[in-house]
Amino acid sequence: MENKLTLFKVIAGGPLKVTGPFRIKGRDGKIIEKEEPVLLCRCGHSSNKPFCDGSHKRNAFSE
Ligand code: FES
């Protein structure tokens, strides 16, 4: 992975948008490595955690 800055942007009432290279270690211990923009769930309602699946829209998430 190239060494460049990663941008984390909070989307009001929605997910955290991550742009740039990063790795996430899931509960199962698997490492997910991404470079393209992804949306991470902040509301806790996604059925595809850690990624946003749009469920925040149906659950009145406002932070
Ligand atoms: S922020 Fe979108 S499903 Fe949780």
Q: How many residues does the chain have?
A: 63
- Closest Cα partner for 18 from 28, 5, 30? 5
Asked whether residue 52 carries a pLDDT value surpassing 60, the answer given is yes
Please tell me the distance between residue 34's alpha carbon and the centre of ligand 1 in angstroms.
18
Class of domain 7-58 (CATH, top level): alpha beta
The 10s digit of each residue's pLDDT in 10-49 is 999 999 999 999 999 988 999 999 888 999 999 999 999 9
Nearest CA to ligand 1 atom 2: 52
Please tell me the distance between residue 11's alpha carbon and the centre of ligand 1 in angstroms.
10
- Closest Cα partner for 22 from 9, 10, 4? 4
Per-domain boundaries in the chain: 7-58
Please tell me the distance between residue 4's alpha carbon and the centre of ligand 1 in angstroms.
26
**pLDDT in the model for residue 27:** 84
User: C-alpha distances in angstroms, 15 versus 2, 18, 39, 52?
Assistant: 25, 9, 6, 6
Asked whether residue 2 carries a pLDDT value surpassing 70, the answer given is no
**pLDDT in the model for residue 21:** 92
